[in-house]
Amino acid sequence: MHRLKLDHPGGRCEILAGAGVLAAAPDDLRGWLAGRTLFVLSTPRLRELHGGALAGLERLAGRVVALEVEDGEEAKQLSRAERLWREMLAAGGKRDSRLLTFGGGSVGDLGGFVAGCFLRGIEYVQVPTTLLAQVDAAVGGKTGVDLPTGKNTVGLFHHPRRVLSDTSLLATLPRGELRSGLVEVVKMAALLDPALLARVEDGLDALLAGDPEALGPVVAAAAGAKCAVVERDPREGDWRRILNFGHTLGHAIEGALAYRHLRHGEAVAYGMLFASRLAARLHRPGFDPGLGERLRRLLRRFGLPPLPALDGAELLGFMTRDKKATEDGLAWVLPRALGDGEMVSGVGADVVGEELEGFLEDPWS
């Protein structure tokens, strides 16, 4: 088991990662749960698959109230948050009640938002059950819901008290979900942790097979890399945007596809391929084309679904409405060399459009 910490302006978040984390969690959270109402937010499917894994924690609470939402991005709506707040009030929730999210990134994003706003904020714990959530979404305190015009456009920073990333829970994930999470690992490793990138390259087969022992150190290393970035820039003022590598186009692809056909990590993979292509075109000081080639070789091994037919002008429209856009326009996160990326602003829409045209014809060129 790997234990990490993330210090933020509001306190400290502790992260436990590895196989069997949930079995050890009650000792850590006994005092936090004692005598409290514990709201457990999950989906019916996850409760059926893994609900028993929470028994040790639930026994420590004064009482447990189950809250349910559907799977996937559909859960991240203001209407769902309002329903949950009403249910929590009806159940007698108080300022010192607790909330636990048990699910993937969508459940965690929604649950963190609900916890951050309920009675002006209650404490919560995340138990992420997907690889994508364990390595990225559950770490860093960003919460949010979607609007029709964009993903995570309403939200706040509200860090969990603990993140319990038990890699044993990943055994039931389909290969596509593991692939999606590993893309986020590659995103961080390429620009922040070269040793982690080599570990993914060397152990990709075991990682894609969901081996909990192989996944443990990878989850811990990816979470550790993100913690270092978040501590340096807790509210995404500047440096934290380095974590958006692949996300500018990735989010636009998701929006254009109405969050169908590609998983989040798969869209981000195509976003990284495009960012590498854009970096090659701009060829800024220190640029090493070898990193782009290395990423293409690795991502080919992932067996990504084909990129559906998309319209470049529509994608540009989604990008200009992205929540990370500023009055000065988009800041692209571009790879420069292994372990080194940069934020580049002022890239003209004409340049992006030209590159998009070729990219959409052949993303791997």
Expressed in angstroms, the distance from the first to the final Cα of the chain is 41
Alpha-carbon distance of 136 to 105, in angstroms, equals 9
Active-site residue flag, 247: yes
Active-site residue flag, 226: yes
Alpha-carbon distance of 337 to 331, in angstroms, equals 18
Q: Return the number of other C-beta atoms located less than 10 Å from residue 337's C-beta.
A: 16
* Nearest in space to 186 (alpha carbons), one of 106, 299, 72: 299
Q: Return the number of other C-beta atoms located less than 10 Å from residue 278's C-beta.
A: 22
Of residues 179, 240, 263, 277, which has the active-site annotation? 240
Of residues 98, 158, 226, 241, which has the active-site annotation? 226
Of residues 120, 260, 283, 327, which has the active-site annotation? 120
**Residue with tokens 């860090």, as numbered in its chain:** 159
Active-site residue flag, 187: no
Alpha-carbon distance of 80 to 365, in angstroms, equals 42
Active-site residue flag, 8: no
Of residues 50, 247, 263, 277, which has the active-site annotation? 247
Output Rg (C-alpha) for the chain, integer angstroms: 20
Q: Retrieve residue 250's tokens.
A: 């990735």
Alpha-carbon distance of 329 to 310, in angstroms, equals 22
Half-sphere exposure of 324 (CA within 13 A, CB side): 26
Of residues 80, 142, 263, 277, which has the active-site annotation? 142
Half-sphere exposure of 327 (CA within 13 A, CB side): 0
Active-site residue flag, 14: no
Q: Return the number of other C-beta atoms located less than 10 Å from residue 313's C-beta.
A: 10
Reduced to 3 states, what is the DSSP secondary structure of residue 336? strand
- The residue type found at 18 is G
Of residues 76, 80, 179, 251, which has the active-site annotation? 251
* Nearest in space to 259 (alpha carbons), one of 148, 131, 102, 109: 148
Of residues 151, 264, 266, 277, which has the active-site annotation? 264
Active-site residue flag, 50: no
**Residue with tokens 């934020």, as numbered in its chain:** 343
Q: In sequence order, which residues have a C-beta less than 8 Å from that of residue 86 and are 6 or more positions away?
A: none
Of residues 73, 123, 236, 266, which has the active-site annotation? 236
Of residues 73, 123, 184, 355, which has the active-site annotation? 184
Active-site residue flag, 321: no
Of residues 80, 244, 254, 342, which has the active-site annotation? 244
Alpha-carbon distance of 24 to 38, in angstroms, equals 18
Active-site residue flag, 142: yes
**Residues classed as catalytic:** 120, 142, 184, 226, 236, 240, 244, 247, 251, 264
